């Protein structure tokens, strides 16, 4: 049986739509990343957690009936001041106690201040620190490490020795010297993070770069005449994104606790300002007597970290699509 071609079997080449893959090819890289990211339910859950914490950090202190530094007190019949010290979480009731008509969702601290307000106020400071740490890591740490690893030789040697020098000076010494020129407070903490925070990240980026720069595609790129910085930031960086995101996730709590430690020794943020770290420190002093005081800051921090980690995982997968079967 012979098949006789018919007219329907053919079409004009000129009319063919060449952009077939409507899903991917028509999108920009970042749009693709975004689509990927938001398809990932876990990543979306992470974003929701972090956004909720940010929203609470912004609005809870504003909407609260107390200031974060306000010592809640009443005068008793003899005119003696009584403060709402160390009250466990309570909802306004109508008992005869002094403060029973007030609501303290997280209780009060040992100075009679509302822990709900303070926790969210503290979350503000810690979020700022967290984002600063992310920026420092992403910008300074990554480029420093990639450059050091890629160029190798003398450049690497000098950059790495410089890290060894900076890394060897105790944070306390650095910050005490900065404190001569700056006022104490969050600015000082950020300045000290700027000096040391990115070292861990640069080590990771360098190690990744060392691993990748000998790969075939880098070689190919170089053969085709690509410049060093093009190779570093267009070829190598996207392929190191996994460990970099993981490292960022860890540098957040490290930065938050560095701030807490500095406040603890008296060079961090200035009282009555607070941060999650300093609230944890404060709760720690009374941990077995008043355990409810340390729970809110630790839980918020844990949730924040959970959120960041889920987002980080989502990003890793969205940025390096080979992980997913497309």
Partner 1 sequence: MTKYISKRILMSVLTLFLIIFVLFVLIRIVPGNPFPVERMSAEMILQKRAELGLDKPILIQFVDYMSLLLSGSFGNGTSLYNGAPIKPILLACLENSFKIGVLSILFGTIVGLFLGITAALHRGKFLDGVCTVVSILGVCIPSYVFMIFLQYFFSYKISFFPYFFDPSRFLFSAIMPSLSLSLFAIATVARFTRNEMIEVMNSDYVKLAESKGLYGFELMRRHVLRNALIPIVTVIAPLVVDLLTGAMVIEKIYGINGVGKLMVDAIAGDGIDYNYVLALGIVFSSLYIGIMLLLDILYGIIDPRIRLSAKEAA
Partner 2 sequence: MNKKLLSMLTLGAVALFSGCGDESASNGKLSVMLDSNVVSLDSAQCTDSPSFELIADCIDGLMQLDPDGKAIPAIAETFEVSEDGKTYTFHLRDAKWANGDPVTAEDFVFAWRRHCQKAEEYSYIMGSTVACVKNADAVIKGADPSTLGVSAPDSKTFVVELDAPVPFFPALMAFPTFYPVNEKFYNSLDEGTYGTTPETFLSNGAFVLSNYLPGTANIQLKKNPDYWNADKVLLNDWQYQVVSSSDNALTAFKNGTLNLVTINGSQIEHVNKDPELSKQLTSVESGALSYLSFNQDPKNHHAGALSNANLRLAISNAIDRESLTDNYIMNGSKATYTAIPIHFAPNAKTGKFFAEDQNKYSEYVSFDVNKAQDYLNKAKSELNKNEFELELIYANDAGNSTVKVVQAIKSQVESNLPGVTIKLQPMPKAEYLDKVTTNSFDIALTNWVPDYDDPMTFFTLWTTSGSEICEHWSNSDYDKIIEDCTIGSLAADYDARWNAMYNAEKILLENAVIAPLYTNANAMLISPNVTGIDFHVAGVNRVFKYAKLKSND
Give the footprint of partner 1 on this chain (CB under 8 A): 151-154, 156-157, 160-161, 164-165, 167-170, 172-174, 176-177, 180, 199-200, 203-204, 207-208, 210-211, 214, 242-243, 246-247, 249-250, 253-254, 257, 260, 265-266, 280, 284, 287-288, 294, 298, 301-302, 305-306, 309, 316, 320, 322-323
Give the nearest distance from C-beta 294 to partner 2 in angstroms: 11
SS3 of 76, please? coil
Structure tokens at 153: 């030789």
How far apart CA 135 and CA 146 sit, in angstroms, is 16
| Closer to partner 1 by Cβ: residue 99 or 257 | 257
| Closer to partner 1 by Cβ: residue 72 or 310 | 310
| Closer to partner 2 by Cβ: residue 81 or 324 | 81
Q: Which of 42, 287, 321, 324 contacts partner 2 by CB under 8 A?
A: 287
185-221 as b/e: b if 16+ CB within 10 A:
ebebbbebbebbbbbbbbbbbbebbeebbeeeebeeb
Q: Give the burial class of 23: count Cβ atoms within 10 A of its Cβ; 0-12 exposed, 13-18 middle, 19 or more buried.
A: exposed
Q: Is residue 320 close enough to count as binding partner 2 by CB under 8 A?
A: no
Q: Report yes or no: 274 and 129 within 8 Å, Cβ to Cβ.
A: no
Q: Which of 35, 45, 58, 83 contacts partner 2 by CB under 8 A?
A: 83
Task: Give the residue among 121, 110, 93, 74 at the shortest CA–CA distance from 292.
Answer: 110
Question: Would you give the binding string for partner 2 spanning residues 184-223, x where CB under 8 A is met?
Answer: x---------------------------------------
Residue 82: strand pairing partners: 74
How far apart CA 292 and CA 65 sit, in angstroms, is 21
| Residue 110 binds which entry of partner 2, partner 1, none, CB below 5-8 Å type-dependent | partner 2
Maximal C-alpha separation, the chain: 115
SS3 of 259, please? helix
Please tell me the total number of residues recorded for the chain in this structure. Answer: 326
| Residue 143 binds which entry of partner 1, partner 2, none, CB below 5-8 Å type-dependent | none
Q: Which of 58, 221, 286, 303 contacts partner 2 by CB under 8 A?
A: 286
Q: Report yes or no: 236 and 148 within 8 Å, Cβ to Cβ.
A: no
Q: Is residue 302 close enough to count as binding partner 2 by CB under 8 A?
A: no
Q: Is residue 86 close enough to count as binding partner 2 by CB under 8 A?
A: yes
Give the nearest distance from C-beta 85 to partner 1 in angstroms: 22
| Residue 13 binds which entry of partner 2, partner 1, none, CB below 5-8 Å type-dependent | none
Q: Which of 105, 210, 290, 298 contacts partner 2 by CB under 8 A?
A: 290
Give the nearest distance from C-beta 81 to partner 2 in angstroms: 4
Alpha helices by DSSP H, listed for the chain, are 29-39, 41-63, 115-136, 142-151, 153-168, 171-181, 186-196, 199-212, 216-223, 228-230, 237-265, 276-285, 295-319
> Which residues sit at the interface with partner 2, rule CB under 8 A?
69-71, 73, 80-83, 85-86, 110-112, 176, 179, 184, 264-267, 270-272, 284-290
């Amino acid at each position: 049986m012979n098949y006789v071609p018919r007219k329907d079997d053919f079409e004009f080449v000129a009319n063919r739509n060449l952009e077939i893959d409507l899903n991917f090819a028509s999108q920009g890289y970042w749009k693709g990343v975004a689509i990927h990211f938001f398809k990932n339910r876990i990543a979306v859950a992470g974003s929701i957690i972090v956004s909720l914490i940010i929203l609470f950090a912004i609005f809870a202190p504003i909407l609260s009936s107390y200031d974060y530094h306000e010592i809640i007190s009443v005068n008793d019949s003899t005119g003696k001041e009584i403060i709402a010290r160390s009250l466990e979480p309570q909802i306004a009731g109508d008992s005869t106690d002094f403060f029973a008509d007030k609501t303290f969702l997280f209780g009060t601290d040992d100075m009679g201040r509302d822990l709900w307000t303070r926790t969210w106020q503290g979350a503000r400071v810690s979020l700022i620190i967290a984002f600063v740490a992310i920026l420092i890591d992403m910008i300074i740490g990554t480029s420093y490490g990639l450059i050091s690893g890629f160029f190798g030789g003398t450049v690497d040697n000098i950059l790495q020795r410089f890290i060894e020098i900076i890394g060897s000076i105790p944070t306390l010494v650095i910050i005490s010297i900065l404190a001569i020129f700056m006022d104490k407070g969050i600015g000082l903490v950020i300045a000290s993070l700027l000096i040391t925070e990115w070292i861990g990240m640069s080590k990771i980026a360098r190690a990744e770069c060392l691993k990748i720069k000998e790969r075939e595609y880098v070689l190919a790129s170089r053969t085709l005449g690509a410049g060093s910085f093009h190779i570093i930031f267009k070829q190598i960086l996207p392929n190191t994104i996994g460990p970099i995101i993981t490292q960022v996730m860890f540098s957040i709590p490290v930065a938050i606790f560095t701030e807490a430690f500095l406040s603890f020794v008296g060079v961090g943020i200035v009282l009555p300002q607070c941060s999650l770290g300093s609230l944890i420190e404060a709760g720690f002093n009374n941990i077995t007597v008043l355990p409810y005081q340390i729970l809110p800051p630790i839980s918020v921090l844990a949730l924040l970290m959970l959120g960041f980690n889920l987002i980080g995982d989502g990003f890793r997968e969205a940025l390096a699509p080979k992980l997913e079967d497309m």
